[in-house]
Structure 1
Amino acid sequence: MLLVPFEAADAPQLCDWIPNARDNYLWGGPAFEFPITVEQVAAHLAKPEVRPFLFRQQGEAVGYIELYRVSATEYRLCRVLIAAENSRGQGWGKAMVSLALDVAFEEPKITTVSLAVFERNQIAVACYTALGFDLLQEETKTREFQEETWTLLRMQKRR
């Protein structure tokens, strides 16, 4: 298991991993229109604060994760995805997030890694909680998706 830098050539595969508008919003919030395109991915990755990674298991790309620089002392985990349904439930999400935390905390000035996750994504919430992320109750918000209100939780892990 390892994280490798995401390359522009990986964008078509990432786009293929997002099968519908609901999964697109669950994964990326309002950042991408569905269907996600290579051009949208390229525009997003051109932002200097975005550090994207592929997660590889036995040489095969099975996940995607970003570190988004919020400040000199904070990264935010964004757009966390284990790609195939049959790849889920094997602990790979926890392994991928752990590796991303290692990368973030390699930088001496980083004291906090935060994230936002939809409450309905209970598997992800449980994963982050197991890895020591704390819920920031005062920062809970909501987002609208297709006339549904989704609760957005904010969590953080400090060094």
Structure 2
Amino acid sequence: MQLQPATMDDLALVGRWFDSPRALTLWGGPRLGYPPEPARLAREMDWPAAQNLVWRRGEVPAAFVQLFIRQGRRHVARLAVAPADRGQGLARALLSELFRCYPREDFSLAVYEDNAPALYLYHSLGFEVSGMLDDAPGCLMMVRLHDR
């Protein structure tokens, strides 16, 4: 599998991975409307301002991630794994691939404090809590410095 630029068709599929408003918010933050319609979702996600990537298993996206620079760090946003592929280590593999692609860069991400599986993963990969997001109650900011 390799990371490739995401298309609007990919985004339409990714939007269907979330079966409730809460699941969509945990993934994409409080600005995303439910149900996720591709054109609206792209606008709400600042689609053109970020690097939007999919990791394909054959022709089908198995994971999605959005990257952009935030406060001088490569910010990992909206990381999601397809429901059929969850629990197989794809999020860990995808993040490890990003670290390999950008070995001299610091990373950041935001995660809701009640998302225990994601917190466990991020801590195990060297991310540390650096504070709370002001515009998303209950959302932690985490950083991983490149010298880890």
Please tell me the TM-score bracket, short chain as reference: 0.7 to 0.9
**Aligned counterpart, 1:54:** 54
SS in 2 for 1:23: helix
Shift of 1:115: 0.6
CA-to-aligned-CA distance 1:102-156 (integer Å, 9 cap, x gap): 33x26x6xx32101101211111111111111121xx125777xxxxx6212110
Instruction: Tell me if structure 2 keeps the 8 A contact 1:66–1:77.
Output: yes
Instruction: Read off the aligned partner of 2:75 and give its amino acid letter.
Output: R
Q: CA RMSD in A?
A: 2.2
TM-score for both structures, normalised by structure 1:
0.80
- Residues in 1 aligned to 2:66 and 2:93: alpha-carbon distance in whole angstroms: 14
Amino acid at match of 2:70: V
Between the two proteins, the alignment pairs up a number of residues equal to 145
Q: Secondary structure at the match of 1:64?
A: strand
* CA spacing shift, 1:134–1:4, aligned 2, 3 Å: same
Aligned to 1:29: 29
Deviates more, 1:56-65 or 1:117-126: 56-65
Segments ≥4 residues shifted beyond 6 Å? none
| Higher share in strand | 1
Identical amino acids, percent of aligned pairs: 25
What residue is the counterpart of 1:79 in the other structure?
78
1:61-103 superposed Cα distances (whole Å, 9 cap, x missing partner): 11111112225x312110011121x422111110112223333
2:144 corresponds to 1:157 = yes
SS of the equivalent of 1:154 reads strand
Q: Secondary structure at the match of 1:31?
A: coil
The 2-side partners of 1:155 and 1:19 are apart by: 26
Tell me the equivalent position of 1:147.
Answer: none
| Aligned amino acid, residue 140 of structure 1 | M
After TM superposition, the score normalised by the length of structure 2 is: 0.85
CA distance in 1, matches of 2:46, 2:14: 12
Contact 1:75 1:113 in 2 (8 A): yes
Gaps of 5+ in 1: 145-149
The answer to whether residue 73 in structure 2 is matched with residue 88 in structure 1 is: no
Q: Which runs of 5+ in 2 are unaligned?
A: none
